[in-house]
Structure 1
């Protein structure tokens, strides 16, 4: 039972904006949690770090899950050729522009003592071709291309057997949570074989983990009954999330176990508890969003339109402004609040007054062209 092509899922509009804003807040707090980020305050907050590490477990996985949903919905409306060209156009071009113009200021601020000026440093910074926080877009390009054959399979008779098995799981109230077993196997296996913390696409410990969420997003939205079960079982998923949270922090605050367990075992336990939180949180968030977030107000439509360039610019703005804020002689709380508002105003200003009005910038940063321009182009052809 496919979701109808014209059926809008307003909860996705809400979640996309909420989660990107959560990413923004996360990066605002990064200079103050002692985690060796691009810029760091001289003082740090252990409590802040303890809170942030929890939300890290499900913020980006949920975004990839939503991206998988979006891929299925878009493929139901347009041809495969149009889908591929649209994704390459709206993802690859902003990635290239971001690497050339948005990322270099971050790298300059991070190593500012090594250069006389930004313009003197710019050529060498560009040649680094660093994606920095734009690795998320790089992943989406690859995942979107992989979505084409997978979506073809989801529309075959062979896929009905897969869906029948999954639907059987939903008869058990916590059945959908059993997907976590596959996630745990993927995360631990690939992390042991590819022990790297970077987010490069070739690092399979990272890319395989996020690909799991992207694919499950495609699977869940491809079947109406399965999609409904996520909402119906939201309370059970919330209970599982609370239990997972206790297990997560129980291990997080546990005493040193190095005398009893090897490093690989300790890391494997950590990845295990992280998977418990990430999957249960995703199911809980999606279930309650389906139940409560049933309308898309006009301001949310505008936010959804501009959320992509907002994501592209936000970290550079935070790093540049934060470089000056962390040198203020005041408390961490005031610095965080100041950095949040200054960065939010600046990033929103860039999106509203530079990106949104002009088709050149809309094209470069992945937005659709204005309708008037589309009509003029179609009339000329």
Structure 2
């Protein structure tokens, strides 16, 4: 594997977009743990990243997993490493970081009158439903759980597949995705998932029965894993990123236009609902293809901040939504303008995430709990490891 700094920058940018997206969830009329100044129009800019932000993260995570797999001493060692790096922060997050989110939701949307500490030490660990909310819960950390699950499934497939078959599969990948297939085949799959197999379906993030999520994200994870072994496919993205960007914009125009014409409807009338779902598939993959191609073309270089930002991504991800929910809860009685609320949320969330990372990285016992290596290891420019090995 060659080193691709562009994918590292893409991973950093994708998580930054995710933080802004979750801040936007406070204002959009979609279900969320707390709401401030809800405006229907906020849904339109949210749809600029909605169809592709998570698929992109699974693609990049698959690429990173290939790098880590090559450095591991066999599948079992790789499984142990990934389990430690993913399950420990997931469990810590569910026990300590997540609880304020369902408490705020219960208080603001269900008339819950119990204080946070009593909730945390009591109702949160009921292992059942409270006002329709499953407790305890992983909320936004579902991504970590799914990433761990997909990693184990992929390891099992690799373990039972002969080496000759794996090599043949990689060669087939290069042929299929070595040209325009890199754009058309994944786009066709996402159109099939969103427009034909699961039209109008919503993700549950409950693992069992969440078929629309698994049909979307597991293939993206596997695609990223195989992408790490195909320079030809990366070159195809770099070559075709401009047409891909145009198609992504056209897909977004269709999605946003239908959302504007039919605001707030649970089910969009036919044929517009079908067009909406198919356009999401177009935007969903073409945006990813354009971003990977642009990253390869313009961002494939190192910077002194890259190692720190790459390391900071996971701690930022762990804490950001709890900060957003708690700060929004504090802002509720102030009744500020939407612009002021948004600005305050952005500033406090970024500062809070940075403090969480900068303090946590200096405390040895806290490092593995927030997704960092037990011992600090600063990569150097001569380090042969791929840039997205985190």
TM-score range, shorter chain: 0.7 to 0.9
Structure 2: segments with no counterpart, 5+ residues: 127-134, 378-390
Note if contact 1:326-1:335 (Cα within 8 Å) is conserved in structure 2: no
Secondary structure of 1:97's aligned partner: helix
Secondary structure of 1:360's aligned partner: coil
Matches within 5 A, 1:178-217: 178-188=185-195, 190-191=197-198, 195-202=201-208, 203-217=210-224
Structure 1: segments with no counterpart, 5+ residues: 373-381
The alpha-carbon deviation at position 278 of structure 1 amounts to 0.6
Calculate the TM-score normalised by the size of structure 1: 0.86
The alpha-carbon deviation at position 209 of structure 1 amounts to 1.1
Partner of 2:291: 285
Partner of 1:376: none
Distance 1:26 1:196, change over 3 A: closer
Mapped pair 1:18 → 2:7: no
Distance 1:49 1:247, change over 3 A: closer
Instruction: Give 1:227's match in structure 2, choosing from 229, 234, 257.
Output: 234
Instruction: Give 2:144's match in structure 1, choosing from 137, 140, 148.
Output: 137
1:263 & 1:324 partners in 2: Cα distance? 39
Distance 1:151 1:281, change over 3 A: farther
Instruction: Give 1:328's match in structure 2, choosing from 299, 320, 334.
Output: 334
Root mean square deviation of aligned Cα = 2.7
Mapped pair 1:301 → 2:307: yes
Matches within 5 A, 1:19-168: 19-41=14-36, 43-78=37-72, 79-112=74-107, 113-122=111-120, 123-127=122-126, 128-151=135-158, 156-157=164-165, 159-160=167-168, 163-164=171-172, 167=175
Note if contact 2:234-2:293 (Cα within 8 Å) is conserved in structure 1: no
The alpha-carbon deviation at position 115 of structure 1 amounts to 3.0
Distance 1:344 1:262, change over 3 A: closer
The alpha-carbon deviation at position 185 of structure 1 amounts to 2.2
Distance 1:214 1:137, change over 3 A: same
Distance 1:189 1:145, change over 3 A: farther
2:195 & 2:346 partners in 1: Cα distance? 35
The count of residues paired between Structure 1 and Structure 2 equals 360
Distance 1:166 1:62, change over 3 A: same
Distance 1:345 1:72, change over 3 A: same
1:71 & 1:341 partners in 2: Cα distance? 32
Note if contact 2:173-2:226 (Cα within 8 Å) is conserved in structure 1: no
1:221 & 1:298 partners in 2: Cα distance? 24
Q: Deviations over 1:184-228 (max 9, x none)?
A: 223445525x94442222211112211121121122222221221
2:8 & 2:69 partners in 1: Cα distance? 18
Q: Which has the higher contact order (CA 8 A, sep 6+)?
A: 2
Note if contact 1:241-1:277 (Cα within 8 Å) is conserved in structure 2: yes
Partner of 2:184: 177
Comparing 126-135 and 145-154, the one that deviates more: 145-154
1:300 & 1:158 partners in 2: Cα distance? 33
Note if contact 2:6-2:299 (Cα within 8 Å) is conserved in structure 1: yes
Calculate the TM-score normalised by the size of structure 2: 0.84
Note if contact 2:170-2:229 (Cα within 8 Å) is conserved in structure 1: no
